[in-house]
Amino acid sequence: MGPFEMVVAIVAIAAIASIVKARYGIRKDANGNEVLITDTAETKALQTEIRALKERIQVLERIATDNNRALSLDAEIERLRGDAPR
């Protein structure tokens, strides 16, 4: 391996390492220390959205497992299908 190839290999390794660090949220702070960034605004927004979706899933599960409600929903859907124009 010649010196040029060795320089290219070192640069490629450094570039791949920086991409991996960026992917996992590792940044340098003001002192030059590497820190893991996990509390960003985007993370908080995604966590809020996940909480809302989990609540919606709980409601849907409750509707689906409640036999009386499921039967009345079936009847209501069929009634609406009959009234809907085709």
**Residue numbers of the domain that contains 75:** 39-86
Give the pLDDT score at 28. Answer: 75
* Average pLDDT score, the chain: 82
Nearest Cα residue to 83 out of 42, 6, 75, 60: 75
46 and 30 share one domain: no
53 and 79 share one domain: yes
| 67 pLDDT tier (thresholds 50, 70, 90) | low
Give the pLDDT score at 53. Answer: 95
Higher pLDDT, 44 or 34: 44
Please state the domain count of the chain: 2
Whole-structure pTM over 0.75, yes or no? no
Between vectors from CA 54 to CA 51 and to CA 56, what angle results, nearest 5°? 110
Report the distance separating Cα 82 and Cα 61, nearest Å: 26
29 and 62 share one domain: no
Say if residue 42's pLDDT is above 70: yes
